[in-house]
Structure 1
Amino acid sequence: MRLIRTPRAAALCAAALLLTAACGSSGSGGSSATGLHPPALKAPAKLGRTEGQVNLIAWAGYVEDGSNDPHADWVSGFEKRTGCQVRSKVAASSDEMVKLMKTGAYDAVSASGDASLRLIASGDAAPVNTGLVPNYKDVFDGLKNGPWNSVDGRMYGIPHGRGANLLMYNTAKVTPAPTSWSAVFDDAARYKGHVTAYDSPIYIADAALYLKAHRPELGIKNPYALDRKQFDAAVALLKRQNGYVGEYWSDYLKEVSSFKSGDSVVGTTWQVIANLAASEGAKVKALVPKEGSTGWSDTWMVSSKAEHPNCAYKWLDWIVSPKVNAQVAEYFGEAPANSRACAETADKNFCTTYHAADEGYWKKIAFWNTPIEQCLDGRRDVTCVPYAEWVRAWTGIKG
């Protein structure tokens, strides 16, 4: 691992409101209950001649041409094979990705679940003909037809990889070893000033996931589908937690440093950060607690206004091909999407460490999704709190 994801910062209120406005009041979505009504866009039936260029928006580490690291280059091979010259822009947040896609200047984007529904609802992302992406057949089934990348059984992209938000703790200072998220919520007072949490409004879902298990009377089914009472309970829990938080992290290097120094002893992390911290001498372990965890799954989506759609489809197939998908996964620090990629990793234990083929593990993970007023859990008798309000609430939580 040489590089990991940049912070996935919060979406701006206006962008979140756009998603709400783009959705109807009933109907079906990725699960038939979301109420999402995207524009009637069609995927291509066949590909034509490549256009000689493709413009991409991506997370840092996804589109490498050797300029950052001479050992990380999967762009040159693509350009040589297809004749499509890659022009890429690194985005620092999902919000930036959404804004850039709206310009029509980009052909494809590596969207996370907190952006993909917005792109689908606004018509900025088109459905994808997976039959034109030969390597799609080898993508793990658990990444296909997710509520964050499909609507009514139609895929709106090609899965790239996935990861879980884990509980990390200092093995010398947090005893006994925690098995529950209570270590950072109801029991956080034990570690006052040394608790750390992910700095994003989407972290409200982590509190909701905890309440789902510990306050069943709230009736939470989906941590991204919260009615007013459920949402207020999650916000209240996070406001209480705030009194014990030493710092909210968005820079992974700061979290590694904080655990090494002892400033942080327990909090949310990613597997790649836990690996890096341990390799630098921090006494840490990370796990999925008994309540499960939230997580992220990225999807390569094609712009509905793509000027180079044929090259875009060639890129989608290339980036999910076994060898390239393995290279990206190891460089970035995530589980690959292609089931055949595990045979191509340099570290033969990589896929075991990242649980790439362990679908039982991923069933414990509630992948990021974008909250909308039409409750994603299928309820029709209430209105759920849209992401714009999550953004506002997060500011209040942090004071």
Structure 2
Amino acid sequence: MKRLLSLLLGIAAICVLLAFSANKLQSTSGDSSAKVLNLYNWGDYIDPALITKFQKETGYHVNVETFDSNEAMFTKIKQGGTSYDLTVPSDYMIEKMRAAHLLKPLDKSRLTGFANLDARFTNQSFDPHNRYSVPYFWGTLGIIYNDQSIKPEEVQHWNDLWQPKFKNKIMLIDSTRDVLGFSLVSMNQSMNTTNPAILKAAQAKLNRLSPNVKAVVADEIKMYMTENEAPLAVDWSGEASEMIANNPHLHYVVPTEGSNLWFDNLVIPKTAKHYKAIYAFLNFMLKPENAAQNAEYIGYATPNKKAKALLPKSIRNDKQFYPSDRTIANLQVYSDLSPHTIGLYNDLYLEFKMNHH
């Protein structure tokens, strides 16, 4: 998920839920006939009203436990101590989990509603033919600008960020793949390149952006942008939708030449035990009215075509979060790169950050 937890949001509720879940997990996780579903999800990444509705409709009790990074989730499932039935990895992490034999294939004959999904968001490189995953949410990386000081035509493309007039005005999301990624796109290169010379050139170009960069931060971008502390940022669509909701002067642009397209997906980890509950939940979440309710609550784009049709016009026609086919055709999904290449990305990114300070 491309949104860091707003920690204060429901922390008390989450603590109570986790304490309750931990007790329930101990008592029920080993029993395959128990009427439970153990869901391992990002924090605040499902409308709680949907959990209540699912429990009422089916009689299954949902235990929710949360994680805050793909890597933390991977480690926990690899250790295998808790029998989670479903979890929600991002695109590249599905590749990694598959390679580590941590996933169970989907039984498509038990899925109803898979056809509700938009074909553009299925059969992706990280999971051909969706053997393991059901798309949950998707989004992009883009540019957020404040119309009080910046005109829309000034920031339609990545290369626009290098203009000298934006000195000390840009906030960057603290993310290796995304920051090197937009530099690569600005040079017409792949966001998944493994070529060290191209990566070094992308870093050199970022170093030339340094004078324009006010700060490289994580969750704080939302505060800076909402309170007009900076007029420009590079961040994810989900974060952008939150900022825009709090400040009408903010807008989000996905450059047409390309950017990252990311997915979060429901998968069945090898620890799963409660198969009836798993398929009941997957089918429940594939229902258009439930997927639409979830998308409205979370503020991310739904991959469910029939759900999108149920969303208010103001949301479903918003090109900021549902870009045109032409823009989508140029978006790139991150691949799970080799440890060696990831090391190179991290080293170059760290050098850029240190030079920036």
Instruction: Please classify the TM superposition score into its range, dividing by the shorter chain length.
Output: 0.7 to 0.9
- Per the alignment, residue 251 of structure 2 pairs with 285
Q: Is the 8 A contact 2:139 2:238 kept in 1?
A: no
* Superposed counterparts of 1:328-347, under 5 Å: 328-345=294-311, 347=312
CA deviations over 1:115-165 (Å, ceiling 9, x no partner): 2221111111222233321111111001111012x14x4522101121111
Measured in 1, the distance between the counterparts of 2:52 and 2:140 equals: 31
CA contact (8 A) 1:168 1:287 kept: yes
Partners of 2:202 and 2:286 lie apart in 1 by 37
Asked if the contact 1:50–1:311 (Cα under 8 Å) also holds between the matched residues in 2, the reply is no
Distance 2:59 2:303 in 1: 25
Aligned partner of 1:194 in structure 2 is 169
1:391 to 1:124, Cα distance in 2 relative to 1, 3 A: farther
Distance across 2 between alignment mates of 1:264 and 1:133: 46
106, 111, 114: which one aligns with 1:136: 114
Aligned-pair distance for 1:239?
Answer: 3.3
Q: Cα 1:86–1:260, aligned 2, differ >3 Å: closer, same or farther? A: closer
Distance 1:356-1:317 versus aligned 2 partners, 3 A rule: farther
Q: CA RMSD in A?
A: 2.6
- Structure 1 residues 357 and 241, CA, compared in 2 at 3 Å: closer, same or farther? closer
- 2-structure distance, mates of 1:260, 1:367: 28
Write out aligned runs for 1:61-76 (5 A). 61-65=44-48, 73-76=49-52
Specify whether residues 326 and 191 from structure 1 end up closer, same or farther in structure 2 by C-alpha distance, changes over 3 A only.
Answer: same
Match of 2:3 in 1: 5
Q: Structure 2 vs 1, CA of residues 62 and 317 (structure 1 numbering), >3 Å: closer, same or farther?
A: farther
What is the rounded CA distance, in whole Å, between the counterparts of 1:243 and 1:356 in structure 2?
32
Counterpart among 318, 336, 341 of residue 386 in structure 1:
341
CA deviations on 1:266-306 (whole Å, 9 max, x unpaired) are: 22134454444444445232212232221311111111231
Asked if the contact 1:161/1:337 (under 8 Å) is kept, the reply is yes
- The residue aligned with 1:45 is none
Match of 1:352 in 2: 317
Question: Percent of aligned pairs with the same residue?
Answer: 19
Summarize the Cα distance change of 1:308–1:395 in structure 2 as closer, same or farther, 3 Å threshold.
Answer: farther
The gaps in structure 1 that reach 5 residues or longer are 8-48, 66-72, 213-219, 374-384
2 CA distance for matches of 1:50 and 1:386? Answer: 44
* 1:145 counterpart = 2:98: no
CA distance, structure 2, for counterparts of residue 256 and residue 108 of structure 1: 30
C-alpha distance in 2, partners of 1:192/1:154?
Answer: 45
Correspondence 1:63-212 to 2 at 5 A: 63-65=46-48, 73-104=49-80, 105=82, 106-148=84-126, 150-151=127-128, 153-175=129-151, 176-184=153-161, 186-187=162-163, 189-203=164-178, 204-212=180-188
Pair 1:256 & 2:222 matched: yes
Q: Give 1:394 shift.
A: 2.8
**1:231 partner letter:** L
Q: For the structure 1 residues 361 and 351, does the alpha-carbon distance in structure 2 shift closer, same or farther, using more than 3 Å as the test?
A: farther
Task: Give per-residue Cα distances to partners, 1:191-219, cap 9 Å, x unaligned.
Answer: 2222111111221222212221xxxxxxx
The residue aligned with 1:372 is 338
Measured in 1, the distance between the counterparts of 2:56 and 2:228 equals: 48
- TM-score of the pair, normalised by structure 2: 0.81
Unpaired runs of 5+ in structure 2? Answer: 6-31
- 2:139 and 2:85 map into 1 onto residues whose CA distance is 25
**Number of matched pairs:** 323
Q: Report what 2:262 is aligned to.
A: 296
Going from structure 1 to structure 2, the CA distance change for 1:290 and 1:394 (only over 3 Å counts) comes to same
Residue number among 175, 187, 200 corresponding to 1:232 in the alignment:
200
